Amino acid sequence: MTAPDGYLYAWVNANSGGDWCRWYDNDANWNTCSGSKPNLDMLDKASSLENRGYAGAYEDAGLSTSPNWEGARYCLPDGHYLGNLTGIHLPWDGRPGQGQSVNDNIASHKWSNNC
């Protein structure tokens, strides 16, 4: 785990490979981000994730399958790294996208107090 810097990171490939994005604040649509390329579109393209948020309030990242924090959700706790999203599935929460793979299926995120 890399030291906390307050950002949520996403990579196009598994194991932190390829182009990447990072966000400090909430983002309602992953069609733009800061990262390896200016204005990279990460919408439904993430294959690995890392939460380098600071411990305390709003440390966990709530990931959503649709823009504007709609659709099925997956929570990535503070300090967690998922090197390969293949095989990780969204919880059965009654929202569109439930049960689908998290891989290439994240469209927005919002920081939260807990998962």
Domain ranges across the chain: 7-87
From residue 48, give the alpha-carbon distance in Å to each of 80, 94, 102: 11, 25, 10
pLDDT (tens digit per residue) in 61-96: 999 999 999 999 999 999 999 999 999 999 998 999
Q: What is the pLDDT of residue 16?
A: 97
Dihedral angle of Cα 24, 95, 12, 113, to the nearest 10 degrees = 30
- Quote the tokens at residue 113: 């107090």
Q: What is the arithmetic mean of pLDDT over 22-49?
A: 90
Q: What is the arithmetic mean of pLDDT over 8-27?
A: 96
Q: State which fold the 7-87 domain adopts.
A: Gamma-B Crystallin; domain 1 (2.60.20)
